[in-house]
Protein backbone atom coordinates (compact mmCIF):
# COMPACT_ATOMS: atom_id res chain seq x y z
CA UNK A 1 0.00 0.00 0.00
CA UNK A 2 1.12 3.56 -0.73
CA UNK A 3 1.31 6.39 1.78
CA UNK A 4 1.23 10.03 0.71
CA UNK A 5 2.23 12.90 3.00
CA UNK A 6 0.90 16.30 1.95
CA UNK A 7 2.95 19.41 2.69
CA UNK A 8 1.98 23.09 2.98
CA UNK A 9 -0.56 24.17 0.37
CA UNK A 10 -0.71 20.70 -1.21
CA UNK A 11 -3.89 19.54 0.51
CA UNK A 12 -5.79 19.72 -2.81
CA UNK A 13 -4.09 16.43 -3.75
CA UNK A 14 -6.61 14.67 -1.49
CA UNK A 15 -9.56 15.64 -3.71
CA UNK A 16 -8.99 12.78 -6.16
CA UNK A 17 -8.98 10.17 -3.40
CA UNK A 18 -12.05 7.97 -3.01
CA UNK A 19 -12.35 8.22 0.75
CA UNK A 20 -13.19 5.09 2.74
CA UNK A 21 -12.23 6.29 6.23
CA UNK A 22 -10.76 9.30 8.02
CA UNK A 23 -8.67 9.02 11.19
CA UNK A 24 -7.70 12.16 13.11
CA UNK A 25 -4.09 12.61 14.22
CA UNK A 26 -5.39 12.60 17.80
CA UNK A 27 -7.08 9.19 17.29
CA UNK A 28 -3.88 7.83 15.73
CA UNK A 29 -1.93 9.03 18.79
CA UNK A 30 -0.12 11.82 16.92
CA UNK A 31 0.48 15.38 18.03
CA UNK A 32 -1.74 17.87 16.18
CA UNK A 33 -0.10 20.38 13.81
CA UNK A 34 -0.57 24.07 14.57
CA UNK A 35 0.39 25.36 11.10
CA UNK A 36 -2.39 26.87 8.96
CA UNK A 37 -2.76 24.78 5.81
CA UNK A 38 -1.97 21.54 7.66
CA UNK A 39 -5.13 19.54 8.29
CA UNK A 40 -4.15 16.89 10.77
CA UNK A 41 -5.79 13.60 9.73
CA UNK A 42 -5.23 10.43 7.74
CA UNK A 43 -7.49 9.61 4.82
CA UNK A 44 -7.70 5.95 3.85
CA UNK A 45 -9.08 5.17 0.43
CA UNK A 46 -8.22 4.66 -3.21
CA UNK A 47 -6.35 6.76 -5.76
CA UNK A 48 -6.39 5.57 -9.39
CA UNK A 49 -7.79 2.25 -8.12
CA UNK A 50 -4.87 1.67 -5.73
CA UNK A 51 -5.09 1.56 -1.92
CA UNK A 52 -3.66 4.69 -0.38
CA UNK A 53 -3.27 6.36 3.01
CA UNK A 54 -3.00 10.13 2.79
CA UNK A 55 -1.50 12.06 5.68
CA UNK A 56 -3.07 15.52 5.53
CA UNK A 57 -0.51 17.80 7.09
CA UNK A 58 2.40 16.88 9.30
CA UNK A 59 4.02 18.05 12.50
CA UNK A 60 7.35 19.86 12.47
CA UNK A 61 10.35 20.30 14.73
CA UNK A 62 9.74 24.05 14.69
CA UNK A 63 6.42 23.57 16.47
CA UNK A 64 8.43 22.25 19.39
CA UNK A 65 7.92 18.55 18.59
CA UNK A 66 10.66 15.94 18.94
CA UNK A 67 12.10 13.94 16.05
CA UNK A 68 10.07 10.98 17.43
CA UNK A 69 6.83 12.97 17.31
CA UNK A 70 7.56 14.32 13.81
CA UNK A 71 7.91 10.77 12.49
CA UNK A 72 5.02 9.14 14.38
CA UNK A 73 2.85 9.39 11.25
CA UNK A 74 5.35 7.33 9.24
CA UNK A 75 5.34 4.61 11.90
CA UNK A 76 1.51 4.67 12.00
CA UNK A 77 1.27 4.32 8.22
CA UNK A 78 3.78 1.45 8.25
CA UNK A 79 1.57 -0.27 10.86
CA UNK A 80 -1.39 0.08 8.48
CA UNK A 81 0.59 -1.77 5.81
CA UNK A 82 2.19 1.11 3.89
CA UNK A 83 5.36 -0.07 2.17
CA UNK A 84 5.84 2.79 -0.34
CA UNK A 85 5.82 6.37 0.85
CA UNK A 86 5.48 9.59 -1.17
CA UNK A 87 6.66 12.63 0.81
CA UNK A 88 5.66 16.02 -0.58
CA UNK A 89 6.72 19.42 0.71
CA UNK A 90 6.89 23.09 -0.16
CA UNK A 91 10.49 24.24 -0.53
CA UNK A 92 12.64 27.14 -1.58
CA UNK A 93 14.57 26.72 -4.83
CA UNK A 94 18.34 27.17 -4.62
CA UNK A 95 18.82 26.96 -8.39
CA UNK A 96 18.07 29.71 -10.88
CA UNK A 97 16.81 27.11 -13.38
CA UNK A 98 14.21 25.67 -10.98
CA UNK A 99 11.40 28.21 -10.96
CA UNK A 100 8.72 28.89 -8.35
CA UNK A 101 5.61 26.90 -9.21
CA UNK A 102 7.61 23.95 -10.57
CA UNK A 103 8.40 20.59 -8.98
CA UNK A 104 11.64 18.84 -8.04
CA UNK A 105 12.03 15.13 -7.37
CA UNK A 106 14.48 14.42 -4.55
CA UNK A 107 17.49 12.29 -5.39
CA UNK A 108 19.10 12.81 -1.97
CA UNK A 109 18.98 14.99 1.12
CA UNK A 110 21.09 16.87 3.64
CA UNK A 111 19.73 16.38 7.16
CA UNK A 112 20.68 19.69 8.77
CA UNK A 113 18.14 19.47 11.60
CA UNK A 114 20.75 18.29 14.08
CA UNK A 115 18.54 15.41 15.15
CA UNK A 116 17.28 11.98 14.07
CA UNK A 117 14.24 9.83 14.89
CA UNK A 118 16.66 6.92 15.32
CA UNK A 119 18.32 8.25 18.49
CA UNK A 120 17.90 5.30 20.82
CA UNK A 121 17.93 2.85 17.88
CA UNK A 122 17.91 1.30 15.33
CA UNK A 123 21.32 2.70 14.43
CA UNK A 124 23.68 2.84 11.47
CA UNK A 125 21.14 2.27 8.71
CA UNK A 126 22.43 2.71 5.16
CA UNK A 127 21.04 5.94 3.67
CA UNK A 128 22.50 5.36 0.19
CA UNK A 129 19.69 5.46 -2.36
CA UNK A 130 17.22 6.53 0.33
CA UNK A 131 15.04 8.03 -2.41
CA UNK A 132 14.42 4.81 -4.33
CA UNK A 133 16.27 5.11 -7.69
CA UNK A 134 13.99 2.70 -9.57
CA UNK A 135 10.79 4.31 -8.32
CA UNK A 136 12.26 7.74 -9.12
CA UNK A 137 12.92 6.75 -12.75
CA UNK A 138 9.45 5.26 -13.06
CA UNK A 139 7.82 8.41 -11.69
CA UNK A 140 9.97 10.71 -13.85
CA UNK A 141 8.79 8.77 -16.91
CA UNK A 142 5.15 9.29 -15.85
CA UNK A 143 5.78 13.05 -15.50
CA UNK A 144 7.60 13.20 -18.83
CA UNK A 145 4.72 11.44 -20.60
CA UNK A 146 2.38 14.04 -19.12
CA UNK A 147 4.72 16.91 -20.07
CA UNK A 148 5.05 17.87 -16.43
CA UNK A 149 8.42 19.57 -15.98
CA UNK A 150 10.23 17.97 -13.06
CA UNK A 151 13.64 19.03 -11.82
CA UNK A 152 15.81 16.65 -9.83
CA UNK A 153 18.07 17.41 -6.91
CA UNK A 154 19.13 17.45 -3.29
CA UNK A 155 16.81 18.71 -0.55
CA UNK A 156 18.30 20.35 2.53
CA UNK A 157 16.11 19.91 5.61
CA UNK A 158 16.52 22.60 8.29
CA UNK A 159 14.69 23.12 11.59
CA UNK A 160 13.26 26.59 10.84
CA UNK A 161 10.84 28.13 11.62
CA UNK A 162 12.46 31.29 10.25
CA UNK A 163 13.38 31.25 6.58
CA UNK A 164 17.10 31.21 5.83
CA UNK A 165 19.40 34.22 5.72
CA UNK A 166 21.00 35.08 2.38
CA UNK A 167 24.31 33.80 3.80
CA UNK A 168 22.70 30.49 4.75
CA UNK A 169 21.31 30.17 1.22
CA UNK A 170 24.83 30.73 -0.20
CA UNK A 171 26.16 28.08 2.22
CA UNK A 172 23.46 25.58 1.19
CA UNK A 173 24.18 26.14 -2.51
CA UNK A 174 27.90 25.58 -1.90
CA UNK A 175 27.06 22.40 0.01
CA UNK A 176 25.27 20.99 -3.00
CA UNK A 177 21.65 21.58 -2.04
CA UNK A 178 19.10 22.36 -4.77
CA UNK A 179 16.11 23.06 -2.52
CA UNK A 180 15.57 23.94 1.12
CA UNK A 181 12.70 23.23 3.49
CA UNK A 182 11.73 22.35 7.05
CA UNK A 183 10.43 18.80 6.76
CA UNK A 184 10.83 15.44 4.99
CA UNK A 185 14.37 14.41 5.99
CA UNK A 186 13.40 12.89 9.35
CA UNK A 187 10.43 11.09 7.79
CA UNK A 188 12.71 9.62 5.13
CA UNK A 189 15.16 8.41 7.78
CA UNK A 190 12.30 6.79 9.74
CA UNK A 191 10.81 5.25 6.60
CA UNK A 192 14.15 3.75 5.53
CA UNK A 193 14.69 2.34 9.03
CA UNK A 194 11.35 0.53 8.59
CA UNK A 195 12.27 -0.66 5.10
CA UNK A 196 9.76 1.52 3.25
CA UNK A 197 10.68 2.78 -0.20
CA UNK A 198 10.52 6.56 -0.48
CA UNK A 199 9.70 9.06 -3.23
CA UNK A 200 10.25 12.75 -2.39
CA UNK A 201 8.64 15.66 -4.24
CA UNK A 202 9.30 19.33 -3.54
CA UNK A 203 6.94 21.99 -4.78
CA UNK A 204 9.26 24.95 -5.30
CA UNK A 205 7.34 27.96 -4.07
CA UNK A 206 10.04 30.66 -4.09
CA UNK A 207 13.72 31.28 -4.70
CA UNK A 208 15.94 31.07 -1.62
CA UNK A 209 16.57 34.25 0.36
CA UNK A 210 18.96 36.66 -1.33
CA UNK A 211 18.56 35.09 -4.77
CA UNK A 212 17.20 37.34 -7.55
CA UNK A 213 13.40 37.28 -7.44
CA UNK A 214 13.26 35.84 -3.91
CA UNK A 215 10.10 36.73 -1.99
CA UNK A 216 9.54 34.95 1.27
CA UNK A 217 6.04 35.01 2.65
CA UNK A 218 4.20 32.00 4.10
CA UNK A 219 0.91 33.09 2.48
CA UNK A 220 2.56 33.22 -0.97
CA UNK A 221 4.25 29.87 -0.33
CA UNK A 222 0.88 28.21 0.40
CA UNK A 223 -0.80 29.95 -2.57
CA UNK A 224 1.96 28.95 -5.03
CA UNK A 225 1.90 25.35 -3.79
CA UNK A 226 -1.90 25.30 -4.15
CA UNK A 227 -1.64 26.28 -7.82
CA UNK A 228 1.18 23.83 -8.58
CA UNK A 229 -0.60 20.97 -6.79
CA UNK A 230 -3.06 20.46 -9.65
CA UNK A 231 -0.45 19.16 -12.13
CA UNK A 232 1.05 16.81 -9.57
CA UNK A 233 -2.33 15.35 -8.62
CA UNK A 234 -2.69 14.12 -12.19
CA UNK A 235 0.79 12.59 -12.24
CA UNK A 236 0.30 10.79 -8.92
CA UNK A 237 -3.07 9.49 -10.07
CA UNK A 238 -1.55 8.27 -13.36
CA UNK A 239 1.27 6.55 -11.47
CA UNK A 240 -1.19 4.94 -9.04
CA UNK A 241 -3.33 3.60 -11.88
CA UNK A 242 -0.23 2.20 -13.57
CA UNK A 243 -0.44 4.35 -16.71
- Residues assigned a catalytic role: 8, 38, 60, 62-63, 90, 182-183, 206, 218
Per CB under 6 A, which region of 30-38, 62-70, 179-187, 234-242 contacts ligand HPA? Answer: 179-187
100 interacts with ligand HPA by CB under 6 A: no
87 interacts with ligand HPA by CB under 6 A: no
208 interacts with ligand HPA by CB under 6 A: yes
Cβ proximity to ligand HPA: between 53 and 204 the closer is: 204
Number of residues binding to ligand HPA, judged by CB under 6 A: 13
168 interacts with ligand HPA by CB under 6 A: no
Instruction: Give the HSE-up count for residue 10: Cα atoms under 13 Å, Cβ half-sphere.
Output: 30
Q: How far is CA 180 from CA 80, 112, 122, 183, 214, in A?
A: 30, 10, 27, 9, 13
Q: Which of 47, 91, 105, 189 binds ligand HPA (CB under 6 A)?
A: 91
94 interacts with ligand HPA by CB under 6 A: no
Q: Which of 108, 164, 178, 187 binds ligand HPA (CB under 6 A)?
A: 164
102 interacts with ligand HPA by CB under 6 A: no
222 interacts with ligand HPA by CB under 6 A: no
Least distance from ligand HPA to the Cβ atom of residue 60, Å: 10
235 interacts with ligand HPA by CB under 6 A: no
221 interacts with ligand HPA by CB under 6 A: yes
Binding site for ligand HPA (CB under 6 A): 90-92, 163-164, 180-182, 205-206, 208, 216, 221
Amino acid sequence: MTGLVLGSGLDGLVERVEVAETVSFADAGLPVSTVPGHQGCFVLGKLGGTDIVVMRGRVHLYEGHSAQAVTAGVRWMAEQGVDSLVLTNAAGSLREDLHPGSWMILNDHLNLTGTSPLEGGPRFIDMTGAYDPAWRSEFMAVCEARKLALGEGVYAGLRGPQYETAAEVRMLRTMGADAVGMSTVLETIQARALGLRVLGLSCLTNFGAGMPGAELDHGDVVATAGKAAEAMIGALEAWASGS
